[in-house]
Structure 1
């Protein structure tokens, strides 16, 4: 999906300049401890694809009802992807705290 994803002007494979790292959730995915790379990449790709679709919908917005519907659907998918990423990150953070508590002082 992404040719690069460092937030510094990298482009997607279709040539657009969308980057998942413009969101807090995507940035956290890259720095989250304890996550497997496969998990991290799947969440980042979903979030990045949702952001790309939202940007495409914004560009195509011409005032007609179909364009507004497409934008609303793209925003909904983006929110869902971001919430999934944050839930996973929260679960990993909670597990880390529990493991630290089990280890004791």
Structure 2
């Protein structure tokens, strides 16, 4: 096989190898934002039965989360505890699904 045909064959092989990934992206849809679970690390600033306020681990912002009856608490937290919060966005509120103390 001469050189131009070999290059064309390699190019076609590479194109066929990458096509399934492109088609897969067309068929799969992203979950709606209400169904996604997000997470954040931070230090507890204040905590009540209804909400938890933390300073994020990058120390650039303070975030407030809503605690519901369905929220899972790993333990009782005091201000200053380093926590990992999993939450969902519902009606422009950050509802905690689970909060656990993170061991540094």
TM-score by length of 2: 0.25
Structure holding more helix per residue: 1
Query: Greater strand share, 1 or 2?
Result: 2
Larger radius of gyration: 2
